[in-house]
Amino acid sequence: MTNPILTTHQLSKTFSTAGVQKHVLRNLDMEIRAGDYTVVMGASGSGKSTLLYALSGMDRPTLGDVTFAGQHLASMSESALARFRRNHCGFVFQQVYLLDTMSIMDNVLAAGLLVSNDRKALAARAAELFDQVKVADDTRTKFPAQVSGGEAQRAGVVRALINSPTVLFADEPTGSLDQTSGTAVLDVLTDVHTSGQTVVMVTHDLKSARRGERVLYLRDGAIVGDLDLGPFTSDDDTDRNDTLRGFLVEMGW
């Protein structure tokens, strides 16, 4: 068992809309272990994405705290949180969110230059990552509107990895992709995890979920299930698939 790098303590998040309060996360205690590939699942509105963004310091909890390597995110200033995100977190969004006024390469370097001024080294690492995710040379100089959804998402993964983050967060990374593109993105995430990257992924897709080593299930803002799947080998691993399906059935998915 590896050490936890992210820990939540009584984490709660409440939204108020028109005077009505909705408790999305309720007193949640959990850990994300270094090197794990953790998948968070649950029904729509169960708090999956809210948990992801609270863990990554993109949103502040209403109550409770998130601890990263001994640092309390709740007590950090906005600037400190921004520095935390640039140094330790990488994000892959469902909608990709590449900046449409920049080329694919510049989208990646804009994130990289926040951490390092060594343009040459950054460009080399970006090229290496682009090769790894199979984004062709001529695609890298194009603008987001000129590339396919799959290419854009893989570029999003490169942007997330450019600063060698401690944790790679992915929020429904295949949600807006076709099957082929989705599988390619999942392969990339699996590859980087295999090389030691900690990954936390939110999904409601069974095919995506079985890439993880650990599956957490959220219901009404609380973790009601925690499944250890072990390392992913292939999509054809029927035992693994059955175990996951059984877990989810048990959770009422």
Residues that bind another protein (CB under 8 A): 49, 53, 58-59, 78-79, 82-83, 85-87, 89, 91, 93, 95, 97-103, 105-106, 109-111, 113-115, 119, 122-123, 126, 141-143, 145-146, 159, 163, 171
Which is nearer to another protein, 113 or 222 (by Cβ)? 113
* Residue 221 C-beta: closest distance to another protein, Å: 16
- b/e 154-184 (16+ beta carbons within 10 angstroms → b): bbbbbbbbbbebbbbbbbbbbbbbeeebbbb
Other C-beta atoms closer than 10 Å to the C-beta of 116 total: 13
* Residue 83 C-beta: closest distance to another protein, Å: 7
* Residue 3 C-beta: closest distance to another protein, Å: 24
Which is nearer to another protein, 106 or 205 (by Cβ)? 106
Which is nearer to another protein, 172 or 213 (by Cβ)? 172
* Residue 49 C-beta: closest distance to another protein, Å: 6
Q: What is the DSSP string of the chain?
A: -PPEEEEEEEEEEEEEETTEEEEEEEEEEEEEETT-EEEEEESTTSSHHHHHHHHTTSS--SEEEEEETTEEGGG--HHHHHHHHHHHEEEE-TT----TTS-HHHHHHHHHTTT---HHHHHHHHHHHHHHHT--HHHHTS-GGGS-HHHHHHHHHHHHHTT--SEEEEESTTTTS-HHHHHHHHHHHHHHHHTT-EEEEE---HHHHTT-SEEEEEETTEEEEEEE------TT-HHHHHHHHHHHHHHT-
Which is nearer to another protein, 93 or 253 (by Cβ)? 93
**Token couple for 197:** 């990257």
Which is nearer to another protein, 30 or 160 (by Cβ)? 160
CB contact at 8 A, 201 and 173: yes
Which is nearer to another protein, 143 or 253 (by Cβ)? 143
* Residue 11 C-beta: closest distance to another protein, Å: 15
* Residue 119 C-beta: closest distance to another protein, Å: 6
* Residue 81 C-beta: closest distance to another protein, Å: 9
